[in-house]
Every structure is written in C-alpha cells, then in structure tokens.
Structure 1
Amino acid sequence: MRSKNSFFNTHNPGLSNSNAFYALNDISLNVNEGEVWGIVGPNGAGKSTLLKIVSRIIKPSSGQVLGKGKVSSLLEIGTGFHDELTGRENIFLSGYVLGMKKSEIIRNFDDIVEFSGIGEFVDTPVKRYSSGMYVRLAFAVAAFLEPDILIIDEVLAVGDAEFQKKCLGKMQEVTTQKGRTILFVSHNMQAVNQLCSKAVYLNGGRAVAIGDVHTVVNTYLTGMQKTNLHAFWQEPELAPGVPSLKVNSVSLIPQQSSPGTPLDIRTPFTCTIRFWNYEDGADLSVGLHLFTLTGECIFDVASPSIVCHEGLVEAECRIPGNFLNNGSYYLSIIFMKDTSVQVFYLEECIHFEVEDFRENMNWYGQWMGAVRPKFPFTIRQA
C-alpha cells in the first residue's frame, strides 16, 4: 500500500452502500517526506475529516492511513489544549504528547512565547484567551516543537494579516530548512500556491483533482465561479453551528436591481444573517469577512454586540454600490461572544460575481485593485 519513499499514505477503496452518507469516499494519497500539500474545496467537502483521520483523531470506516514520524495538528479552535491549564503548562503538555524530553521543550519555550506574542499571559489559563491568542499559541506550539508532519486547518483565518504572514513564513522555513512534511487546508489560494507544491481538490467527499498545486487550484477556482446569493437551513438540527448557536440563513440582497439582472459595480447590497441563539443572555456580535476568489480579504466588519435572548436573531449590513471592483467574491460569517471569543465561523456561504459598467466611458482597460470606490474628485485650472 505504501511505496518505499512515501512518508505516509492514505488508501480508501471506496464504499458500496449507496444509501449511506460518507464524509469521505475513495480518497487515496501518497505524500513523500518534505512535501507540502494543499487541501482545497468548498465547505462540507471533507477537508477537515481527512485531516482528522491523518491526525489519528478519528478512524476511517474503510481504508487505512500508513505513516511514520511525529504528527502535530492544528485543527479547530478548542482542540489540543487543556482549558484549565495555563499557556506554559499546555506548551509542556503538548511537547510530552509528541514524545519530547523536558530539555527539548525548554530549548524551544522562549521562541514559542515570542512568536505567539502571549508573553504576559503565558501563566494565564488558556480558557481566558481570546480566539486570536489561542490560535497564535497553538500554531507556535505546533511549529516550534519540531514534528515530522505538521497538519494545519483553516484556523489561521482567525489571526490578523500580519500573524498569517508570520505563519506562512514559518511554514516555509520548516519545509525548506528542516524538511518537514505539511498538510495545509486553506481558502486562501495565494497562500496555497505560495507554500505548496502539490494539492488535492475535494468536493462531496471525493477527490476531484490531485497533483501539481497550480493545476489543482485552477480547477477549483473554475468550479467556484458561480453566483449563490442565499444560504438557508430550515431545521436547526441540520443547520451549521454549535450547540449554543445555529445558522438559519445568510442572504445577499441586491438593491435597486431587477431579479435576474447581472450585478455590476454600481449595485448596493444588503447582507442579512439570521441565527438561532440558545444561550439566554449571551453577548453576541456578527462579523462579515469578504474575500476575493483567490482568498485575499477585502474587509472585515463587525456589528455592535447585543445581549440576546433565546430565539431567532437577525443582523443586517449594507454594502454600498461603487465600492467593489468587477470580479468574483465570497462571504464568510463569524459569530462572536463577549467581543473577542469566536463562537462559530461559517466559511464561504455566499458567492457572487460583480460585473463591470462602462456606459458613457471611453476607456475599457482593467481597473487595478479589488475595490473601486467612487470618491468626489475634481479638476480645475489652478
């Protein structure tokens, strides 16, 4: 099942029960030592399930994973650390789990604290950390404790742009200088193209494309260029979310345009988010993350926070016309508690295309940038 030079191998011969639902089916990968693989695909494609299987967190119902070396995983926020322990204690606990000696952990301790930026909070229980602090420490632990295989899910989306840049730089360092193997799930296609040499595109639990990263990413982006302005879940039991919060709907409603009319740069939008809250008295807010098709964040905007009663809650954000440039975009939604604690992150729930508008213009070149604001701009004889 595994070639002589492979570092680990996943093999799934496929499942024959057509009435059953499988998060993954018929996935076979062969990853060699020192390779960096990107895993791309829409929500629900099976990306996180694949990482959990490779991380030995869950077992496949069919097939097997063969591998060698120490594995360190950075998956969902809230996994991997013990909430009651401090940052310092969790660093040592993580090292022991990886089979490291105390002296090895001490040698890397200062680098971990410096990289994560949690110095003054290192002796604070991690349950009091914000989502950003938690992710910074979790990444630093995963990267600096020298695993043979580093597995990273899209949790880096919680960090700010500067920290994401640091993370990408660190991942490049551990592969080029230390020959580590990385599996990287991301919706940022620029980061995938920059960091990875190979990729797999998952959709519906199956591998659509496997191979050279640029070829796979192009295949994925071509399939994403479809407009989807509404996402709706009628039953809370089937809706995305967590026990305290379930998403009912997300809609991007164009204003001042007829149904079926192509959206152009002049069109204003209203984004409406409805969700069920099951924690009475929770102090909640909602944020929008707008991305280009390649994963560049255009803006991150948040609502004011309100104390919510149990039941349906609605948030609304208006995006003006003459703001976005022509191109393809997608929206992700973040739900926050007490301003800084992430409750749930709904990725890529809305996709849309903005068309150009050149009426009464004599120039048809490409405007630079992802935004194209219409500012008051005058010219006169001085």
Structure 2
Amino acid sequence: MDQGNTAFILLAAALVLLMTPGLAFFYGGLVKAKSVISMMMLSFGALGLIGVLWVIYGYAIAFPGAEGTLAPWSIDWSAIGLTSLLETPDGAAYPPLAFVAFQATFAIITVALVSGAIADRAKFGSWLIFAAIWATVVYFPVASWVFNFGLAEDGSFAYGGWITHGLQDVFGLGAIDFAGGTAVHINAGAAALALALVLGKRVGFQKGVHVPHNPPFVLLGAGLLWFGWFGFNAGSELAADGTAALAFVNTIAAPAAALLAWLIVEKIKDGKPTSVGAASGAVAGLVAITPACASLTPIWAIVLGLIAGAVCALAIELKFKLRFDDSLDVVGIHLVGGLIGTLYLGFFATGTGLFTGGDGTQLLVQAIAAFSVLIYSFVLAYAIGFAIEKTIGFRVKNEDEIAGIDTVVHGEEGYVLAETRA
C-alpha cells in the first residue's frame, strides 16, 4: 500500500467535503435575509442524509465492480454497509475505504447543488425525501455509468461504466469525464431545471426583484468551493503524480479566466462588474474544467474558462426569457457550464479532440454522454418532484415565502440584532 497516495486521497476527500459548507455560504448569501437558514440547511441536510445512504447502499450501486461495469443499473450486494471493504487487499495502492470516502463527498455535493433552484420556497422535509429518492435512482447509477472501477471479462482493468468504457468498446474512444462534468454538474443542473418547473416561480418573480442579501457570504462560499475543488479535480487522479499536477494547474487557470470573462460581460452589459459576478464566474469556470482538467493543456484551459465565463454570464438571463425560476442559477452555471466543459473536450482534448489530432469521434461520444445524463436526470427528477408536490407538497405557502421561511420551517432567524424582552 502506498501511504503517500492514501494520504493524498484522504486529504482530497476532506477538501471536497468542505465544498458543501462552502456551497451553503454561496447559496445562503444569494437569497434574502429571512431565508438564509433555510437555504443553508438544504445543503447541510444533504450532507447528513447522503452521507448515511452512501454507507448503507449508495457505494454498492455506484461501484458494483466487474459485473456492473457496463450495466446501466446494478448493485454489488456484498458492498452493502461496506463490510466487504474493511480489509485492504494485498498489492492494493490504497485502502478501499479511502476511495469510498472520496466518492462519498461527490455524492453529497451533487445533491446539495440541486437545492439552489428551489431557494426561498421549498419545504425541508420534502427536500430530504426528494434528495433520498433522486440520489438512489439517479446519482448513484449515473456515478456508476462514469466512474465505476472493475475488471472487464478478459481480465483487463476497466475504468468507468458504459459512458466511458462502454462507449470505448463501440466507438474506439470513451467519453472523457475526469472529475464529474456529466455525473455531477450536468446531472445536478438537469435535476435543478426539473424542480424549478415543478415548484413554479417565486412570488413576484422578475428581473431585479430578488437580490443577494449578503455578497460577502457569496465570496466566502466561492472561495471555499474553489479551495475544495482542488481535491475534487486533482484528487480524481487518486495519486500524487503529474496528471494530478496538471489538473491542479488547470483548476487555477480556467476559473481565473472565467472570472475575468464574466466581469467583462457584466461591464459591457450592465455597466458595472459585481462581486457576485466574480464569484459566479469563478464557479462557472470550475464547473467547465471539471471533466476536462486532465485532458487539456493550460492554455486550452484558459480558453475554456473564457468561453464558460462569458456564456454562463449570458445563460443566467435565460430564466427571465423562458419564464422558469431557477433561483440561484444552477441551470445557467452548472448545466450550461457542464455542457460546455464536456463538449469542449470533443474539440480540444489532448490527442483526440477534433482540432488536436482527432477525427470527431471524441465529440460524438462526449455529446452522447452529456445528453444521456441530462435527459435521464431531468425526466426522473421531474417525476419525483411532481409526485412529492401532488402528495405531501413541496412548496411552502405564498404568505410564508413572502415573510421569509426561516422561522416557519426552522424556528430560527439568520440575524438576531437585538433581544426583545417582555
């Protein structure tokens, strides 16, 4: 066992886990002051719930091993509760539980990302029910499609499920998704769009009405996300080597470029660059580089960041034109950014992109992967959300939404400036 790589994986897992509290700050600062507790609790609720489900059965679905390598939906019954993974096999590079821990943090942050689309108007209990079902029937299987490690029938080592290894058998090239552009960002963005449609628009929804109550929270959250993202991207190599170093550098370059691009678009379009725009641009760049961080040179990573920052800055306006209320721009940043990063590889992936030595096959398999996950996640998320809304209800009452749902749902206030005594 390589203790250095084991330490690297465990450190990366800790960094990715920090991203969920970071997301809570990012989202919490974007909502109104009387909804900040509710918004942050959606992330913390996902942390608790998915952390438990992952240990019980989530890992067994996401990583069913050799028999489930190419299956769209399978489960390794021996991995239920992780009891079969307590011992480290002879010759293993790291303990199986180190990888379990690392992938657990991916599951948690993916579910938490979805919550941004339903800010200010979702019931906490209904959200947890949705999160449990969606993680079980969508995230865990999709993670298997992309990340599942196992042995092929011929005994060779196979990386990925049908999206990576399976497409390679058909087209000669598998889809590239190093750290989760499809499984995390397209997946979460599509589910967010579905839930935004199910819950409907906030009271008084129109451009300029709902403004962030705490931009410093947004900047703090973006900073924590960026910090944790080094574990997300570089850690996905599962070894402290040159590929991890390339992913690390690209995780600096792309979001930095996207931040600048977003600010330029804001300056041209609205006359002023904003702090929320800087934070959003950085996150858009992080999203776009996630699938591509190990397959681009740093210069192409900067180009990707510039494209993602500019396009996502424009894409967040779609909700006003198309009249759907994606409260915190999960669709405009994560779905659009994930699509950009995933499809960009079809053009510029080192050695296989259309303009970097390939023949277009890489673009084809990237598109198949991206839109397969998008459609699967959207359809099931809409069905789950619709069923919850029509049975126990997913949305709070309009009067509670207007007043702010922190006290109604959680009995707390985000800001208590003075104590009132009888």
Q: Give the TM-score normalised by structure 2.
A: 0.28
Structure of higher CA gyration radius: 1
Per residue, is there more helix in 1 or in 2? 2
The structure, 1 or 2, with the larger RCO (C-alpha pairs under 8 Å, 6+ apart) is 2
TM-score normalised to structure 1 length: 0.30
